Amino acid sequence: MPPWGSSTCSCGGSLDDIKQMGIPRTMDLPILDNHVHLRPEGENVEAARRFARAGGTALNITCYPKWEHLGKPEYYRMVFEAAIGIARRVASEVGILTLVTVGPYPVDLVRLLSMGWRPERAREYMIEGALLAAELCQEGVAHAIGEVGRPHFQVKKEVWDLSNEILEEIMSIAAEHGCPVVLHTESATEDTFAELASMASRAGLRPEMVVKHYSPPIVEVEKTRGIWPSVIASRRNAREAARRGRRFLLETDFLDDPSRPNAVLPIDSVPRRVKMLLQEGLLSEEDVYVVMKENPKRIYGVEVPP
């Protein structure tokens, strides 16, 4: 599944375009932010330019909910296509690699139930969204199903249980279609990783095909049970992850929200953290290639360029 911005993809720009556009590069290393949201009403392409100027070479763009349209028959197609369209623009206009992650957001369930939907119909609706995401992955238009999972806040037991049922069913869909899954859950602990790995195993999905979005710096494979931690790239987290191993990804969870600029983290944070870790001797250039190139390739099958 060729990502946009690769030399083999007709819908993206050349990765050499960044030089032609006059965007100065601060490093000549592969730099992936594994989880950002770029929205039509936000900075979108301009945010990606800021990322590229800091040295970033690849973005994993995750779809963002438009809850005013939730419940409509074509809702998920509309939300997914918005992310896909922005990814194409970023690849073409900025010249960096773009991956796309699409899936039914777990809080959709809470909102559908609050709208009076029956639990079974809400489940069916979200599974339809997951099937569409899997089809887009198989077509090479997307690269992972996500962010899917369960609410990060307290909900009633029946909502929690139904969320887990939906998640396990989505994992089964991912296994059948050969897609990675990107998880949204409560703050992760070793017990959380163990539970999620067990769910994946029951669904027939290898834990190595599962990414925990917004992960703390728990990176040891025996503690994550094979799930990939996508560590939120604060200075403290980045340093701790690098001290503990090389089996992780970094992300900002940049929301591209005009009302909250730079939330959750500024989009240029990952390249800046990589530079910091190199300067402090916590990562070598060879280590950066492991974290930023080898790890994503093992998950998404995509080469992140320098």
Residue 151 lies inside a defined structural domain of this protein: yes
Distance CA 304, CA 1 (A): 13
| Tally of domains within the chain | 1
By residue range, what is the domain housing residue 185?
A: 28-300
Band of residue 4 on the pLDDT scale cut at 50, 70, 90: low
Residue 112 lies inside a defined structural domain of this protein: yes
Question: Could you read off the pLDDT of 98-134 as tens digits, one per residue?
Answer: 999 999 999 999 999 999 999 999 999 999 999 999 9
Which residues lie below 8 Å from residue 28, measured CB to CB, with a gap of 6+?
Answer: 306
Residue 129 lies inside a defined structural domain of this protein: yes
Is the Cβ–Cβ distance between 252 and 237 less than 8 Å?
Answer: no
Question: Could you read off the pLDDT of 148-182 as tens digits, one per residue?
Answer: 999 999 999 999 999 999 999 999 999 999 999 99
Residue 123 lies inside a defined structural domain of this protein: yes
Residue 16 lies inside a defined structural domain of this protein: no
Residue 32 lies inside a defined structural domain of this protein: yes
Residue 294 lies inside a defined structural domain of this protein: yes
Q: Is the pTM of this model over 0.75?
A: yes
In CATH, what number is assigned to the domain containing residue 36? 3.20.20.140
Residue 186 lies inside a defined structural domain of this protein: yes
